[in-house]
């Protein structure tokens, strides 16, 4: 299989950014207190949404390969970072220090099979592995719904 390339074109309006990805458009912004107009989620929220979206896609692909009965997943994801890095303190990393992903899996499968699916996602999900490679303390908690 050939390598895949993704292209996003974007235009800014102050803190807001309108990104065009294929046929889709996303608006990202910051809250009013940080100088934005709050017309969309901020980049950190978007990164967390991208993470769980990628986990979902990877889980569905792996479930198909494993003949795993995956009905639905519900995600809650939270991330913590120290804003001093973003504000210019070179001694503080400007990205998430810790991210926790809680997943409720609707399935008829056993807890052991859910664990196997989770392991596939942790090994194969491009955004999950990107966060791990950056040294983010990343915790995945998958439980049967």
Strand order of the β-sheet with 24-28 is: 9-13, 16-21, 24-28
The pLDDT value given to residue 49: 98
Give the pLDDT band of residue 1 (cuts 50, 70, 90).
confident
For residues 69 and 83, what is the distance between their CA atoms, to the nearest angstrom? Answer: 41
For residues 132 and 138, what is the distance between their CA atoms, to the nearest angstrom? Answer: 7
pLDDT in tens, 81-137: 999 999 999 999 999 999 999 999 999 999 999 999 999 999 999 999 999 999 999
Report percent pLDDT > 70 for the chain: 100
Question: The whole model's pTM is what?
Answer: 0.95
pLDDT in tens, 39-82: 999 999 999 999 999 999 999 999 999 999 999 999 999 999 99
């Amino acid at each position: 299989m050939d390598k895949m390339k993704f292209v996003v074109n974007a235009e800014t309006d102050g803190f807001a950014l309108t990104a065009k990805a294929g046929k889709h458009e996303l608006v990202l912004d910051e809250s009013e207190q940080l100088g934005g107009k709050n017309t969309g989620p901020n980049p950190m929220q978007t990164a967390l949404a991208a993470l769980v979206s990628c986990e979902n896609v990877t889980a569905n692909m792996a479930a198909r390969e494993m003949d795993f009965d995956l009905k639905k997943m519900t995600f809650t994801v939270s991330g913590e970072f120290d804003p001093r890095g973003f504000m210019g303190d070179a001694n503080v990393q400007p990205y998430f220090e810790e991210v926790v992903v809680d997943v409720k899996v609707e399935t008829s499968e056993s807890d052991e099979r859910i664990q196997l699916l989770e392991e596939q996602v942790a090994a194969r999900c491009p955004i999950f592995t990107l966060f791990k490679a950056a040294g983010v303390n990343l915790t995945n908690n998958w439980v049967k719904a």
